[in-house]
Amino acid sequence: MEYEEIIALKYHPEIAKEVLRTLLKLPNVHKQFIYYRWHLINADPDDNKFVDCAVSANAHYLVSHDKHLDILKNVAFPKLVVLRLDEFKLILSP
């Protein structure tokens, strides 16, 4: 999992695993099953997991600053709205 990999870069791998286990126990965290792999991101295939998860979850938005996801603006189906964090914050603000 991406979170575990990133945390393990700075901390011991066991700490990364424990952080992930703790996150998965939170009531507002949902583990999403991926039904289909779309393979939409060719520049960085590792990013496809985020796209696949968003599509499977029927997410309204995919929030990211990853430039590789910009290609999704030209994909008609499945349609995903990719927002930067500042754009997403504006949507959430009253």
pLDDT digits over 35-94, tens only? Answer: 999 999 999 999 999 999 999 999 999 999 999 999 999 999 999 999 999 999 999 998
Residue 50 — φ and ψ, nearest 5°?
A: -70, -40
Which residues form the domain of 4?
A: 1-29
Tokens of 34: 């991926």
22, 48: one domain: no
At residue 77, the 3 state secondary structure works out as coil
At residue 37, the pLDDT reads 96
At residue 1, the pLDDT reads 64
- pLDDT at residue 5 above 80? yes
pLDDT in tens, 7-42: 999 999 999 999 999 999 999 998 899 999 999 999
Residue 63 — φ and ψ, nearest 5°?
A: -100, 120
45, 87: one domain: yes
Residues 4, 20 contacting (CB under 8 angstroms): yes
67, 82: one domain: yes
Residues 80, 72 contacting (CB under 8 angstroms): yes
Residue listed under structure tokens 């700075």? 10
